[in-house]
Structure 1
Amino acid sequence: MTQEQLLAMIVQKEERAYTHMYNMYSKSLFAVISNMIKDKEEAEDVLQESFVKIWKNIDSYTESKGRFYTWILNVTRNTAIDKLRSKGFNNSKKNLPSDNFVHLLEDSSRMTYRIDAIGLRDFVKKLKPKCIEIINLLFFKGYTQQEASDELGIPLGTVKTQNRNCINDLRNFLQV
């Protein structure tokens, strides 16, 4: 099934399209979510919520503005960021048991695999060090541009400009 056929089926709300879309994209989207949300169950919830948003909001996707995968990646990343910023999520993480931290340390060795699951690590490594830092903060850690500005100690406008330039560089690497 081509992406165009899948999109047509999603727009028509054919049930099998949801399953097909999930099978095509769930692993790579889960890798992005897992990089931001360490708790596996929470990450799975965000993945499911993302697919529901994609399904319900397919009419807001415009092919002329970008690829379908880029759009669903943004929907997913924004859903994960919303989860991270939610009051309920933050309150639930205030008093974690110590065994949870051991689990996080054990999982850190698999973090590289999660990022590689969508195949971006090699391309990001080719960028300038400042780009690597900005993309890491904005896309992999879920920082806002203002938070990245504060973290890096540079003006917000500079972060926005560098982010745009870095994304363009990344696009050029991906088109080769």
Structure 2
Amino acid sequence: MPPAISYSEDELVYLLQQRNQEAFNYLYQNYSAVLFGVIARVISDQQIAQDVLQEVFVKIWTHIDSYDAGKGRVYTWMINIARNAAIDKLRSKGEIMKGKIHTGEDHVYNLQQSLKTEQHTDAIGLKKLIAELKPEYQRIIELSYFKGFTLDEISKMLEVPLGTVKTRMRHAIQLLREKFSR
């Protein structure tokens, strides 16, 4: 058995930009589980989530030249691609308005909840800070930032006036900033 290959983030990005197939295989083997976890939190249908995962890797492969290390880690860049692709898939299929995604009480940031494919990505403790907010603030943050709903969609979903949703969002962000800066 050949020795396991390991790349630094800079090496991986460079090799991907050179269209190195071995680096892409490494990328898939080491990041597909966490990216699938991000997608599966937005899309409940496992088959659609798998399809979106494949689309995400195609986007990574074709857009790696647009990655800017000055703006953040490649890991964060890929997670954003996965999250945005999942949200785009829901919106394109009209799944949000059909109510086919789960918006129940299982909060995305629940510390006890975990998927088999999930890796721990909350190194800055954001989930813990969100859990300390009032439930009405937690819900709006969850729906907006973790599930990708617009404030208007949240307003309709929760049957709360749009102005109230905006006020709660603004207040929740202010509280998170204060808690995070401690």
Q: Say yes or no: TM over 0.5.
A: yes
Quote the Cα distance in structure 1 between the aligned partners of 2:116 and 2:175: 21
Aligned equivalent of 2:9? 3
Tell me the residue number matched to 2:62.
56
Matched, 1:159 2:137: no
1:125 corresponds to: 128
* Number of corresponding residues: 155
Query: 2: CA distance between counterparts of 1:134 and 1:2?
Result: 37
Query: Which structure has the higher relative contact order (CA within 8 Å, separation 6+)?
Result: 1
What is the TM-score normalised by the length of structure 2? 0.68
The Cα of 1:120 is off from its aligned counterpart by 4.8
Is there any run of 5+ residues in structure 1 with no aligned partner, and where?
97-110
Q: Distance in 1 between matches of 2:54 and 2:178?
A: 30
Tell me the distance in 1 between the aligned counterparts of 2:17 and 2:155: 39
Cα distance in 2 for residues equivalent to 1:85 and 1:14? 33
Name the CA distance, whole Å, in 2 between partners of 1:40 and 1:83. 13
| Aligned equivalents of 1:69, 1:51: Cα separation in 2 | 13
- Considering only CA atoms, is the larger Rg found in Structure 1 or Structure 2? 2
Counterparts of 1:27-176 in structure 2, within 5 Å, are: 27-87=33-93, 90=95, 112-114=113-115, 117-120=118-121, 123-127=126-130, 128-129=132-133, 132-148=138-154, 151=158, 153=161, 154=164, 156=166, 159=169, 162-163=172-173, 166=176
Contact 2:43-2:90 within 8 A present in 1 as well:
yes
Shift of 1:65: 1.2
C-alpha deviation, 1:62, in angstroms: 1.0
1:22 to 2:28 alignment: yes
144-153 or 22-31, larger mean C-alpha shift = 144-153
Aligned-partner Cα distance in 2 for 1:141–1:55: 25
Counting helix residues as a fraction of each chain, which structure ranks higher? Answer: 1
CA distance in 2, matches of 1:157, 1:7: 41
Return 5+ residue gaps in structure 2 as ranges.
1-6, 101-111
Partner SS state of residue 114, structure 2: helix
Going from structure 1 to structure 2, the CA distance change for 1:166 and 1:134 (only over 3 Å counts) comes to farther
Q: What is the identity percentage for the equivalent residue pairs of Structure 1 and Structure 2?
A: 37
